[in-house]
Amino acid sequence: MDSATTRMPHLPVLDGMRAAAILIVMLAHAGLGKIVPGGFGVTIFFFLSGFLITSLLRIEAAETGRIDLRDFYWRRTIRIFPPLYITMALTLAACAIGLLPMQVSARSVVLDALFLTNYAHLFGPEQGVPVPLWSLDVEEHFYLLFSTAFALAFVRMPAARAARWCLIACGVVLAIRIANAALLSDYARNYYWSHTRLDSILFGCCLALWNSPALDRDAWRPRLTHVAGAVLVLLACLAIRAGLFRETLRYSLQGLALFVVFSAALQSTGLVARLLSSAPLRLVALVSYTLYLAHMPMAVAVEHGLGIHQPLLRELLGAVLSFGYAGAMYLLVERPLARWRRRRDARRRAPIAPALAAEPR
């Protein structure tokens, strides 16, 4: 796998993208879902994950000529599992004492813990923890499948060819969504299933593999007309409300448009880049993972546990508590674990190459 660099550069613009995505999701879940596209925020997360994970895999392949899958899974585990399982445990405790009104079942909780929330309906009524886990499931399934494919096949081929295979896979996923729409009475689950949403991540992989703005010297630089066209496509995807379009073509068009937008943003030095790189958004990005996990149960706890029903006050207090909890998780759990992981990686990989400078969140 070819790469013009063996170190992932720090890209502050991506912090801003991550922060924008979580804020979009939180606003949508705060009762503004009719005007704020929460699902699009998740799609941004997916694209960003694909770009970052693939960039790191490219760098490892360029450094060592192989992918250490055990090390990859270990780093993902240390990054993802502790905040998730701590939040799940606290949420279950809140349900047990009546702070949250939800009824949960042991079967559903086990499925949640095993990253099968988005397929839980196949096993019976869905009574899992009130945390938006389905998108984490899509990403975990992607990590398992894509890292294995990269280690077995992509590591030995040029990056551009690997990008073409990812694009072909995007077409296959679109075909599956269309088949579901034709054959299933309820194809709205195309939104949640891993096998119908992986392309939202794979488009990010394509950007990391084909003339990457982060890794390649000859990065493709979109023209202003390309960016304007991509923005119009994104707006059209938000405006068109037909169910068939939304659960089939929408995700493909959004992925293609985000390819252009991300490529332009990563090479921009103008106002948009400065805003995305601003300190407030970078702080939000630091705690975005736990914010995503906690913001929904916090809002419910404020209303049902504290008895605050006034919408604006409820959502503001829920947001404050969510940020407080996410900040505590970062300081007490995520940052210490990240430091320990970096020290471990530096000791383990020092004879080969410097530790990678960036990790996706």
Work out the mean pLDDT of the chain and round it to a whole number.
93
Most confident segment among 51-55, 101-105, 122-126:
51-55
Asked if the model's pLDDT at residue 358 lies above 50, the reply is: no
Distance CA(13)–CA(213), nearest Å, equals 12
Report the alpha-carbon angle 286-41-255, nearest 5: 115
Asked if the model's pLDDT at residue 354 lies above 60, the reply is: no
Q: When comparing pLDDT for 59 and 347, which is higher?
A: 59
Residue 10 has a pLDDT of 84
What's the average model confidence in pLDDT over 10-29?
96
Beta carbons within 8 Å of 114's beta carbon, 6+ residues apart: none
Residue 2 has a pLDDT of 66
How large a percentage of the chain has pLDDT more than 70? Answer: 94
Q: What is Dmax (Cα atoms) for the chain?
A: 59
Lowest average pLDDT, out of 1-10, 26-35, 128-137, 278-287, goes to 1-10
pLDDT digits (tens, 9 = 90+) for 217-276: 889 999 999 999 999 999 999 999 999 999 999 999 999 999 999 999 999 989 999 999
Confidence of residue 186 (pLDDT cuts 50, 70, 90): confident
Residue 350 has a pLDDT of 57
Residue 43 has a pLDDT of 98
DSSP 251-316: HHHHHHHHHHHHHHHHT--SHHHHHHTSHHHHHHHHTHHHHHHHHHHHHHIIIIIS----HHHHHH
pLDDT digits (tens, 9 = 90+) for 263-309: 999 999 899 999 999 999 999 999 999 999 999 999 999 998 888 88
pLDDT digits (tens, 9 = 90+) for 199-213: 999 999 999 999 999
* Helix 69-96 × helix 311-329 angle, to 10°: 140
Residue 197 has a pLDDT of 98
User: CA nearest 44: which of 86, 87, 15, 12?
Assistant: 15
**In the chain, where do the E strands start and end?**
none
